[in-house]
Amino acid sequence: MRMICTCHIVPKDVLERLAGDKKLSAELRRGAADSARVTDGMRTLRTQNGELTRLAQASGAHLVELAAAPKVTVYDCKHSQTLPGMPVPGAKTSTDATAKRCFAETTGVAKFYQAVFGRNSIDNAGMTMMSSIHFGKGYNNAMWNGTQMVYGDGDGKLFVDFTKGDDVIGHELTHGVTQHSLQLAYSGDAGGLNESMSDCFGSMFRQWSAKQDAKAADWLIGADIMGPTAKAKGFKALRNMAKPDDKAALAPQPTKYSQVTPGMDPHYSSGPPNLAFCTACLTLGGKSWERIGQVWYAALTTSGAQPHMTMPQFAARTRQLATQKYPAQAAVAAAVDAGWKKVGL
Ligand SMILES: [Zn+2]
């Protein structure tokens, strides 16, 4: 189970907690329980897909560029759980708002990776970016299953249509990028780093789309997929990168590396590296993707396959790259250092 990539945006335990919340209606609780079960059932598929990528890279399989820019395709599951579903012709101008949005945002992520990092799709070889929408009935999650994106509509109360979160789309597709670069495992320190990569690049995509600098950014993950019932309960997002232990987050996280324990769900152990990245960006100022983001991208894509990388190793690598990439700008390395110091590394 080395390359598990549990790439759901909503952690399973959050769904289980909602399923057991007696203050919610029986229908909502049942929906949350169903979503948790499907979330769990995808594990085998993701593991196998990740393993195939690992084997291909380990055997030195030649990476052939498939296309100069990725094709973006959208499929409609029509509320079934059959993947990929029916193709949506002309998704770009579809009358289905979800299909249209999914196409626009996925195209946006492709442009973000191309324009900001010079990356050609998930695998850097023009891989088609495939998404399935309307997965299941009121399914409360979104995921990267190792080869494609899958989006539920949400139950409309706890969560709304998962394609509404640009950070969610950026987060999930980044799991694919990690699968094709650092190949981080999904447990231990590496698991927390894997989740954090997705939050960092998901948030950067959100900021890049809004042309925001680090100070103007909300640094929230999943703010736009929270439904009215979740909001009424005081929840504003899934996670808060600037304040991982925020009680208004559905899944509050540790803030210090010393609080990360063995066996911790990666959606929680990602708190310290998220805070380190956010702190580095705020310390340096300006746009997150212009310098700190470049350091993180280089750490993700120029370190080879390191499935068991620890957080101290990743911190050391970013410190090294900050100096290498910006030798004449000491403020970059200082900001990266301040970020890691904030979380005790
Ligand atoms: Zn994830």
pLDDT category of residue 46 using cuts at 50, 70 and 90: low
Q: In Å, what is the CA distance from 232 to each residue of 24, 159, 248?
A: 12, 12, 11
- Higher-pLDDT residue of 294 and 27 is 294
Q: In Å, what is the CA distance from 8 to each residue of 157, 214, 293?
A: 19, 26, 23
Q: Is the pLDDT of residue 48 over 80?
A: no
Whether 269 contacts 287, CB under 8 Å? no
Q: How far is the CA of 175 from the centre of ligand 1 (A)?
A: 7
What are the residues whose beta carbon lies below 5 Å from ligand 1 (ion)?
Answer: 7, 198
Mean pLDDT of the 116-128 span: 96
Pick the catalytic residue from 105, 134, 172, 175: 172
Q: Which two tokens stand for residue 109?
A: 């992520």
The pLDDT score that the predictor gives to residue 11 is: 84
Q: How far is the CA of 231 from the centre of ligand 1 (A)?
A: 22
Compute the distance between CA of residue 118 and CA of residue 112 in angstroms, rounded to an integer: 9
Whether 306 contacts 182, CB under 8 Å? yes
The pLDDT score that the predictor gives to residue 6 is: 52
Q: How far is the CA of 96 from the centre of ligand 1 (A)?
A: 26
Q: Which residue type, as a one-letter code, is found at position 77?
A: C
HEC secondary structure over 79-137: CCCCCCCEECCCHHHCCCHHHHHHHHHHHHHHHHHHHHHCCCCCCCCCCCEEEEECCCC
Q: Which residue type, as a one-letter code, is found at position 89?
A: P
Q: How far is the CA of 220 from the centre of ligand 1 (A)?
A: 14
Q: Tell me the per-residue pLDDT of 156-215, one tens digit each, with 9 for 90 and over.
A: 999 999 999 999 999 999 999 999 999 999 889 999 999 999 999 999 999 999 999 999
The pLDDT score that the predictor gives to residue 316 is: 98
Q: How far is the CA of 323 from the centre of ligand 1 (A)?
A: 29
The pLDDT score that the predictor gives to residue 304 is: 93
Whether 343 contacts 276, CB under 8 Å? yes
Which of 306, 270, 209, 183 lies closest to 9, judged by CA? 270
φ, ψ at 253 (rounded to 5°): -125, 165
Q: Is the pLDDT of residue 66 over 90?
A: no
Q: How many CA atoms lie within 13 A of 336 on its CB side?
A: 25
The pLDDT score that the predictor gives to residue 288 is: 98
Compute the distance between CA of residue 277 and CA of residue 287 in angstroms, rounded to an integer: 13
The region of weakest confidence among 20-34, 59-73, 209-223 is: 59-73
The pLDDT score that the predictor gives to residue 38 is: 77
Mean pLDDT of the 206-227 span: 98
In b/e form, how buried is each residue of 228-259, taking b as 16+ CB within 10 angstroms? ebbeeeebbbbbbbbbbebeebbbbbbbebeb
Q: Which two tokens stand for residue 312?
A: 């101290």
Which of 202, 338, 210 lies closest to 281, judged by CA? 338
Q: How far is the CA of 328 from the centre of ligand 1 (A)?
A: 35
Q: Is the pLDDT of residue 49 over 80?
A: no
Number of H helices, E strands in the chain: 12, 7
Q: How far is the CA of 178 from the centre of ligand 1 (A)?
A: 11
Q: Is the pLDDT of residue 301 over 90?
A: yes
Compute the distance between CA of residue 115 and CA of residue 289 in angstroms, rounded to an integer: 11
Q: How far is the CA of 141 from the centre of ligand 1 (A)?
A: 11
Which of 72, 68, 127 lies closest to 99, judged by CA? 72
Q: How far is the CA of 6 from the centre of ligand 1 (A)?
A: 7
The pLDDT score that the predictor gives to residue 1 is: 34
What rounded mean pLDDT belongs to the chain?
Answer: 92
- Domains belonging to the chain, first-starting first, are 12-179 (3.10.170.10), 188-342 (1.10.390.10)
In the annotation, is 172 catalytic?
A: yes
Q: How far is the CA of 7 from the centre of ligand 1 (A)?
A: 4
Q: Is the pLDDT of residue 5 over 70?
A: no
Q: How far is the CA of 329 from the centre of ligand 1 (A)?
A: 32
Q: Is the pLDDT of residue 13 over 60?
A: yes
Q: Is the pLDDT of residue 2 over 70?
A: no
The pLDDT score that the predictor gives to residue 7 is: 72
Q: Is the pLDDT of residue 35 over 70?
A: yes
Compute the distance between CA of residue 210 and CA of residue 68 in angstroms, rounded to an integer: 26
In the annotation, is 267 catalytic?
A: yes
